[in-house]
Each structure stands twice: as structure tokens, then as C-alpha cells.
A = this chain, B = another copy of it.
Amino acid sequence: MRNERQPPEGVQRETTRMEIFSDGVFAIAITLLVLELIQFLHPRNGEGLIDSYLHHWEPFLAFLIGFLTILVCWINHHHVFTYINRIDSRLPWVNGFVLLMITFTPLPTAILAEFLKTEGKYAVAIYGMNYFLISVASYWLCAYSYRKFLIDEDKREIFRYIKRTYGYSIFYTFLAFLICFVSIPAAILLYLLLFYAFAFPKEFAGLLLKLETKRRKRYPIRKS
């Protein structure tokens, strides 16, 4: 990662500091989710311990969904930043949009926990809108870094495919958002598929690259 074309030490330190700040935000957002579970515990002192939790499994499901969402986002943020090796003065703002959506995520999670039973449709829709905006932010982070040449020269080709996966995810999450008004289980299935694809962002982008290479061999006239 450290070669002649790289920026000097000082710039590297700046990138590192932005990653530490971002890691802090991700780590706190993911750990705050449990507060909702604990808060839930208190007003039910009247009921017994086992009863109160047996009748209310939704907060646990919401906790798991929120945890997975933020973990997937961290893995992808981490993956994108292994390619970014210098920063300009606008990148903290683009990255700030990603962080805004991450710090916001505990709210849709808490809404899921509270309203999944009574107003499931709206609760899932709010979660879906949040995830759609995370996709937009992630794509913007990639597109901005790509356009401003903030990544290594020899990794631009593969990074273009990484960027494209986030481009697809924008349409995908918008679709899932719409579908949740028709059928909640179908929307949840779509989200699970999405989690699976973005659980391994490197492999996912590699797959796209391979498919593209295969296609090019067959139709050798390059398009874009």
C-alpha cells in the first residue's frame, strides 16, 4: 500500500484519523442499540421477567436487525477506505453524510422494536428509507473518491466495480422500500439478500468484474 506514488506521511495520518473518528461513530451506534432493550425492561416491573420477554420478542429482532445493518455498513466502509489513500477538504463532508445516516440508524431500529406489531408497514418503511439513504451516501462516497482520484492508480479498475455495486444498491433498496407497502415478508427477504451480497463486498465486486470480463471476451467491442 505504501509505494512511490503515495502521498507523504502527514496525509496518511489524516486518513487514519478520519477512519478512527468513523470507527468510533460506528462502534457507538452499534452499542447504543442495547439501550433500547434495557429501557424496554423498566416499565414492566409488574410482570415477571420471563413473561415480559416471552411476550415481546420484537425488540430482540430489531436489535439483531440494527446490529447487522450497522455491521454490514462498517465492513463496507472499512473496505472502501482500504482503497482511499488521500483526503481532500470535501471528503469529510461526504463521509459525514454516511456517518449521519449511521448515527440515525438506532431510531428506525427503536421504531421497529416498538411498532412492528401494531404499525409494521410504517415501521419497516422508515427502516427502508434509512437504508436507501445509506446506499445513496455509500455510493456518493465511492463516486466522489473515484472522480477526485483519491485512490491508488493501479486499483482504479477494481474500484470502479465496487462503486458500481453501491450504484445498484440504490435502486435495490428503493425497490425494497416500495415493496414493503405491498408485502412486509417480501421486503424482509430482499433485505436479507442485500445483507448477503454486501457481507462480502470484495467478493461481490470481484464477481461483477469477472462477469464483465467474460462478457467482453464474447463481445470484444468495449462499450464504456
Contact = CB atoms under 8 A, between A and B. Distances in A.
A129 interface: no
Interface residues of A, number: 67
Contacts of A118: 49
Interface in A85-109: 89-90, 92-93, 96, 99-100, 103-104, 106-107
A160 B99 CA distance: 31
A118 B35 CA distance: 23
Given A25-B31, A27-B24, A90-B200, A103 B67 contact: yes
Number of copies of this kind of chain in the complex: 4
A176 interface: no
Contacts of A32: 28, 31, 34-35
A58 interface: no
